[in-house]
Amino acid sequence: MKKALIVSPYLDHLGGGERYMLSVASVLESLGHDIYFSWDNLEEIEKLSSMLGIPLKNPRLDSKIKELYFKGHTIAMFQATKVYDLVVYLSDGSIPLLGGKRNIIHMQVPFHGVHGKSWKNQLKKRFIHHVIVNSHFTKEVVDKEYDLNSTILYPPVKIITCTAPKENIILSVGRFEPSLNAKKQDVLIDVFRVLSRQLAGWKLVLVGASSSDDWLKQLQTRALGLPVEFAVNASYDKLCELYARSSIYWHAAGYGIDEDKNPELTEHFGISIVEAVSAGCIPLVVPRGGQGEIVTNSDLHWVTKEELLDKTLALIANIDKAKYLTEIKIDAYTDTTFAADLAKLIV
């Protein structure tokens, strides 16, 4: 049986990159590969798999690869990965020297200004068979930075199949962390404060994993006295239920960002947006990064707090689900499409 190695430095987090890499592992396992993670804690892998609803039958660990990664031992990494038929590596902006029979790098972030065309990178690229990215937006940035022709492999999105009567709920899903592409829940709380004065009976529900207790407490303090609920580290079943019950979906990643100067601070794709649409929620998104590829109708775009407020009130006054939701094509983002496209790359 073929051996596949998944290399990621962030498997103790819960975000888009981790979801992507576990999805890769799940597909490879279904294609007959033994799956190894460059990690030293199997319980964390299994917990992540459970929370994301991504099945893994028999994940294994290769802790020495994790150690080599963090110590930056380039040649030792090359030697250690020679035993693998396939290596899939989540880049932190660098290009590794990999020794697998087939090597794939995933660039989740639109890295720029990192000397991507250096002679060292050009040398290491010779050992890389594919660079995969999560959107046209990311592709445009990294291809220019590294002199690449990357392949777009959209993240797989689980279609929300559970159903429930729609309620007066505005939902937003994203990690509670002031990270690179922060989800800007503070902005949403500020807008909802104004909205709740004008419109009774609605509530805002913020869902996400938390890796920053301090940031979460700041948000909770900001929302005091408002009909705002926090679903922290919610299970996948709970998340599905909230998608099914919610009427409107808000997403604020990329707010206030110049995507030409700082593309890494935008939403590079937007998995939760596709999930929300599949559950019948009408999205209102900042049209920067990958979000504009998913939601193309400018009626559903906002760039200022006032615009988000006005468009939300307009939607609530006359929510035309059929018009907006049928315009957003989600077939390209399914598990089935992802699995088929990944299978073509590893042949």
Domains and CATH numbers, the chain: 3-156+334-345 (3.40.50.2000), 169-327 (3.40.50.2000)
Among candidates 209, 181, 205, 182, which has minimal Cα distance to 51? Answer: 209
Contacts for 187 with CB less than 8 Å, ≥ 6 apart: 252, 255, 305
d(CA 286, CA 284): 7
C-alpha distances out from residue 170 to 130, 193, 248, 325, 332, Å = 39, 13, 5, 16, 26
Which pLDDT belongs to residue 181? 56
Residue 11: what pLDDT?
A: 84
**Helices (runs of H) and strands (runs of E) counted in the chain:** 14, 12
From the CA atom positions of the chain, what is the Rg in Å?
20
pLDDT tens, per residue, the chain with 347 residues: 899 999 998 887 767 788 899 999 999 999 999 999 999 999 999 988 887 888 999 999 999 998 888 888 889 999 999 999 999 999 989 999 999 999 999 999 889 899 999 999 999 999 999 999 999 999 999 999 999 999 999 999 888 888 899 999 999 998 888 765 578 999 999 999 999 999 889 999 999 888 778 889 999 999 999 999 999 988 888 999 999 999 999 999 888 887 778 877 777 788 889 999 999 999 999 988 888 888 888 999 999 999 999 999 999 988 767 778 777 888 888 889 999 999 999 97
Compute CA distances 317 → 110, 165, 167, 201, whole Å. 38, 18, 14, 13
- The pLDDT of residue 190: 96
Q: What is the pLDDT of residue 51?
A: 79
Alpha helices in 35-97 (DSSP H): 42-52, 63-71, 74-80
Residues 161, 167: Cα–Cα separation, whole Å = 17
Can you tell me whether residue 3 is helix, strand or coil? strand
For residue 168, the model assigns a pLDDT of: 95
Residues 6 or more apart from 262 whose CB is under 8 A from it?
none
Residue 133 β-bridge partners: 107, 152
Close Cβ partners of 325 (under 8 Å, ≥ 6 residues apart): 277, 280, 282
| Residue 179: per-residue pLDDT | 64
